[in-house]
Structure 1
Amino acid sequence: MSTFGALNTAYTGLVAAQAGLETVGQNVVNANTEGYTRQRVRTSATVPLAQVGMTNGAARPGQGVTVDGVARLGDALLDARVHTTASAGGYTAVRADALASLETLLAEPGEHGLAAKMQSFWASWQDLSNQPDELAPAGVVLENAAALVNALGESYRAVDAEWTRTRENVQTSVDGLNTAAARVANLNQQIRSAINSGGSANELIDRRSAVVATMATLAGATVHDNGDGTLNVLLAGNAIVDGTTARSLQVTGAVGLADAAAAPVRLEWTHRPGTAAYLDGGKLAGSVSLLAPADAAGKGGLLAEAAASYDALATTLAQQVNAVHRTGTTPSGATGTDFFAVDAGAPPALGLRVAAAGPEAVATGTGGYDGSVADAISQIGVAADSPDRLWAGFVTRTAVASSSARQQAALADVAATSAVAAQLSNASVSLDEENINLLALQRAYQGAARVLTAVDEMLDVLINRTGRVGL
């Protein structure tokens, strides 16, 4: 190596140390930046120049150090684990929250629950059977019946409102997912351009990773690396982002609970109307599952099944009470009358009303002091097929499902937290580590500068003082 070549070698050392110091500085100032992944300068030794012509065959050292780039110290496997656990966590959390809200709405056991109101209703009929010739107990029956009907209607309307709110959240989530897909496609373009031009795209990759993580939580998105700096984002194997092209979803189907059975809510690809878009997980998949219609096996959407249970309770209550009530005679002498009525054109839980116009329209028995009909109605609540048993079964199923959902959500949350912790352990900035790197690079810079100074002094002697010895 020539003396002037040694100057270049020292200079490359200065450049490499300076690049390392700048990278350490970038890490330090972004230590608290959410989503930032620490970086390191990649260097390699420069090979010696090829020997040509007449040479003495002596071995030659290399030509210094080459800065190959700035590496982003992320881990694709850890990122994929975060996406997978976030998908499961989002799905289970939505369902657990919905079941918890439904449990609160049921208010069972408690004085405000339907079970307590039905018990008061049956007890008032028992009191009436003991005083069939009095109108006051019949008035109490009507008051308890009205309270039961109102509670049933309010509960149904609360479920209906929750269904509508969930439907709106699905639309909002789809809009957010489409926006995120467009952002990823745009970042793909910027990252590919930066890489092709020889620049660093690390900060852009961090931004893209944050958006992809959001998509994973929202819709169970997974990624495929294309090898050119771009990623494909997949939903159940179908690309919503294909390189620099973004696709979008749309929500179709009912906008109200009443129409859920006729027009189930589902996701479709905007560019392929009528083609369903399926999700493997995420909050959006959990919300869509809540909007599914009820089915005969009771395995339909949570909210529609709750509404169907309220309807079944209203129908059973009206049918069983009316069947007995028709066998009695009212104080006014009427026979074959109904105590409850269900208005047509509305869900039974909303259409249920008290048909008896007043105490004198309540049948107690066959007349006079006979309270057999009132007594028979009071015993409906303890029958094997009573409305109480029907309601208790629904409450029990809801409690079991809620407990299971909470456990699943807790396990998914632990897995997601563990995955994020592992990712942060690998990618986050350690100020202690950066301080050590800072000192090492500072020494490297000083050493390269000292080599440069020594070579410069050698050249000064060679150029300015050769031949002047002894003068």
Structure 2
Amino acid sequence: MSSTFSGLSTAYSSLVAQRQALEVAGQNIANANTEGYTRQRVSMSAVSSNTVTSLWSSSTATSGNGVTVASLERLSDQFLDSRLRTQTASAAQAEATASTLESLESVVADLTDDTGITTALSDFWNAWQDVANAPDSDSARTVLLGTAETLTIQMADAYNSFESLWDEGRTSVDAYVTEVNTTAATIADLNEQIRGITTSGGSANELIDQRDLLITQLSELTGATAVLQDDGTANVFLDGNMLVQGNSATEIVATGSYGMAAALAEPVSADAVSLQWANGNSLTLDGGTLAGVVASLQPTSEGGSISAAVDAINDLATRVADQVNAIHAAGYAIDGTTTGNDFFAIAAGTPAALGISVAISDTDLIAAGDGANGEYDGSIADAISQLSTAEDGPDSTWQTYIVDLGVATASARTRADSAEATRATAESQQLANASVDIDEEVTNMVAYQRAYEAASRVMTAMDEMLDTLINSTGLVGR
């Protein structure tokens, strides 16, 4: 037969369950603004009545034996989490690519203002035209040498600016690699803690939140993906290989030269910046900030954006030197005797933009004429000045690069903004499912509170009934 005291047990089970549900609601509210926190719910299930027939059992139907907390659920959605990580990786890589191009564009913009390369080229060609108009003017020749010197300085400054961007990117690669390895080791440590708590029957939800947040951060850096295991751990993958497996993590390393010239040399060599596993196997990232930065540091044949800028400025210096020298060498000095002199020189073994210099220091050695039309002939100087409008001249190729860079930057920014919008949508959907809704939690708290109060009232009623049964039975008629 059912125990007279079973009602107390039933009411007590409700008190315990409702109290735990209230505590979980309070935990949710406390972490409403905690990054990475996933809301939790207490899953309750009814405790059934005894179903085994015994010798003295009653045939009267009985109710169940109360309620129990079946589990503490973490309301996450693996699909939404995975989608957010994928979109985060794509957006981060697109942003890194766009940022590099915008930095290059900013440098080029500085080089095209009133004190930049475009202005220096214009002044240089105009100075040649002034010499063509007045071949015997020493002041015009002096101005020409000054504008030529300014042009060489501007080209060297441009090269140094591009090199600074490359150096900054190379330093960032090392920093990101260190962050990846540290994060992977932390995830492995959290995996071990989660597995220990889960197998002992405890709740590791807060630790799982910390781990999943770190996995998302890894996705932003490297495009990492994760696969959850039955024991509560998560395996993290890069390029199809495990970065984290259970409680162990594998490190990655950055290789390649710290010098831009060596790293960008063609054909591509071991000096090029690349990523590897600790065992030496190559690693190619599918997305993330690190992938975008590494891509920008590659040689031109591999699509490196900084290398393309370096090639453009070196090409400009080479064209200026070669085309001016080709015309100047056919001219004659002011005394009509000297010929074959180069106006510019480029140091051997040095990038053209850094190695270019003015080879003439004496204004009398500037070849303004061809020596056949008298002392005041300026045909050579005029021919050099016309290089400013030549189809394959220095100005034309430099302006082509500037236009191409502008188009590439605008396109990259559009892709980055589009990827970020997609990522924001994925994040919004993930947060809608996993984040804490204060209004919902308050509503739940009221429901749990009322249930607790009702269970308390049941216990009080049962206590009063038992008091009557125990203390008043048999006293009637005395």
* Same topology, TM > 0.5: yes
Structure 1 position 470, deviation (Å): 2.5
Match of 1:426 in 2: 433
1:412 paired with 2:416, answer no
1:386 paired with 2:393, answer yes
Query: TM-score, normalised to structure 2's length?
Result: 0.95
Tell me, in whole angstroms, the C-alpha distance in 2 between the residues paired with 1:361 and 1:424.
74
Equivalent pair of 1:136/1:359 in contact (CA under 8 Å)? no
1:112-144: CA deviations, max 9, x gaps?
332222121111111110101111111111111
Match of 1:280 in 2: 286
Percent identity, aligned pairs only? 44
Match of 1:267 in 2: 275
Tell me, in whole angstroms, the C-alpha distance in 1 between the residues paired with 2:147 and 2:428.
56
Structure 1 position 423, deviation (Å): 1.6
Equivalent pair of 1:47/1:62 in contact (CA under 8 Å)? yes
Match of 2:48 in 1: 47
Q: Which amino acid counterpart does residue 461 of structure 1 have in structure 2?
A: T
Match of 1:448 in 2: 455
1:306-352: CA deviations, max 9, x gaps?
11111111111111000000000112532100000000121111000
Q: Of 460, 465, 471, which residue of structure 1 is paired with 2:472?
A: 465
Alignment of 1:88-127 (within 5 A): 88-107=90-109, 109-127=112-130
1:3 is paired with a residue whose SS is coil
Equivalent pair of 1:188/1:231 in contact (CA under 8 Å)? yes
1:175 paired with 2:184, answer no
Tell me, in whole angstroms, the C-alpha distance in 2 between the residues paired with 1:278 and 1:396.
31
2:333 is paired with a residue whose SS is coil
Structure 1 position 109, deviation (Å): 4.7
Tell me, in whole angstroms, the C-alpha distance in 2 between the residues paired with 1:301 and 1:123.
35
2:300 is paired with a residue whose SS is coil
Tell me, in whole angstroms, the C-alpha distance in 1 between the residues paired with 2:58 and 2:462.
23
Name which of structure 1's ranges 446-455 and 150-159 shifts more when overlaid on structure 2: 446-455
Tell me, in whole angstroms, the C-alpha distance in 2 between the residues paired with 1:404 and 1:343.
37
- Structure 1: gaps (5+ residues): none
Alignment of 1:177-192 (within 5 A): 177-192=180-195
Tell me, in whole angstroms, the C-alpha distance in 2 between the residues paired with 1:300 and 1:321.
31
Match of 1:363 in 2: 367
Match of 1:216 in 2: 219
Match of 1:77 in 2: 79
Alignment of 1:248-263 (within 5 A): 248-260=251-263, 261=265, 262=269, 263=271
- Structure 2: gaps (5+ residues): none
Match of 1:329 in 2: 332
RMSD after superposition:
1.3
Tell me, in whole angstroms, the C-alpha distance in 2 between the residues paired with 1:403 and 1:32.
36
Structure 1 position 57, deviation (Å): 2.9
Equivalent pair of 1:252/1:266 in contact (CA under 8 Å)? yes
Structure 1 position 75, deviation (Å): 1.4
Tell me, in whole angstroms, the C-alpha distance in 2 between the residues paired with 1:424 and 1:395.
42
1:141 paired with 2:139, answer no
Equivalent pair of 1:142/1:358 in contact (CA under 8 Å)? no
Tell me, in whole angstroms, the C-alpha distance in 2 between the residues paired with 1:442 and 1:430.
18
Tell me, in whole angstroms, the C-alpha distance in 2 between the residues paired with 1:39 and 1:462.
43
1:192-232: CA deviations, max 9, x gaps?
11111111111101111111111011111111111210001
1:91-121: CA deviations, max 9, x gaps?
0111111111111111265323322221211
Equivalent pair of 1:37/1:72 in contact (CA under 8 Å)? yes
Q: Which amino acid counterpart does residue 66 of structure 1 have in structure 2?
A: T
Query: TM-score, normalised to structure 1's length?
Result: 0.97
Tell me, in whole angstroms, the C-alpha distance in 1 between the residues paired with 2:104 and 2:49.
74
Q: Which amino acid counterpart does residue 414 of structure 1 have in structure 2?
A: A
Q: Which amino acid counterpart does residue 298 of structure 2 have in structure 1?
A: A
1:279 is paired with a residue whose SS is coil
Number of aligned residue pairs: give it. 466
Structure 1 position 462, deviation (Å): 1.8
Name which of structure 1's ranges 328-337 and 147-156 shifts more when overlaid on structure 2: 328-337
1:171-205: CA deviations, max 9, x gaps?
00000000000010001111111111111111101
Q: Which amino acid counterpart does residue 395 of structure 2 have in structure 1?
A: D
Q: Of 417, 437, 440, which residue of structure 1 is paired with 2:444?
A: 437
Tell me, in whole angstroms, the C-alpha distance in 1 between the residues paired with 2:245 and 2:115.
54
1:33-83: CA deviations, max 9, x gaps?
222111111111112112322334332221111112211111111111211
1:328-377: CA deviations, max 9, x gaps?
01125321000000001211110001101131121101341010100010
